[in-house]
Amino acid sequence: MFTQSLSSCITTAKVTESRDFYVKHFKAKVTFDCGWYVNLEFGKGATLQFMAPQPDQPVCNPAGLTYNFCVADVDAEFQSLAASGLAATMPLEDHPWGDRGFAVQDPNGVVLYIYSEREASAEFKQYYR
């Protein structure tokens, strides 16, 4: 199978809050919004969708779900999100596997890991291909 695109859709009662959060903090572009379903674009074709539960459909339980956002300047993003009042749930720090990053949570409890790539330590270089 050749997949032309891949995205995630969270079923939530917080469609409006989710849309507003990603537009405000992540500069998402709303490309479709009919009230109960919204499509957000994050540049280079990266998208997320949020939809209200349909009959007999459960709300998503995001426990353990993490979205990774690779950015050019993680320090600038950390400062920007902190200045907007968004608290980090994981501090900004360097990691030996080859990134510098931090985490926040969206209105649904999804962990958002924001990072920039760095040189991996000798311990982790062996795992890269």
Question: In this predicted model, what pLDDT tens digit does every residue of 53-81 receive, in sequence order?
Answer: 999 888 889 889 999 999 999 999 999 99
39 close to 86: Cβ distance less than 8 angstroms: no
* Residue 45 confidence (pLDDT) above 90: no
Of 4 and 13, more confident: 13
Per-residue pLDDT, averaged over 13-24, amounts to 97
H helix or E strand, kind and range, residue 114: strand 111-117
Res 123: pLDDT: 94
Res 44: pLDDT: 78
Could you tell me which residues are beta bridge partners of residue 117? 99
pLDDT band at 2 (very low <50, low <70, confident <90, very high): confident
For 102, list phi and psi in degrees, rounded to 5: -150, 175
* pTM confidence score: 0.91
Res 109: pLDDT: 95
pLDDT band at 102 (very low <50, low <70, confident <90, very high): very high
d(CA 127, CA 54): 43
Ordered domains of the chain (ranges, CATH): 1-60 (3.30.720.120), 61-129 (3.30.720.110)
Within 10 A of 110 (CB to CB), how many other CB atoms are there?
20
Res 43: pLDDT: 83
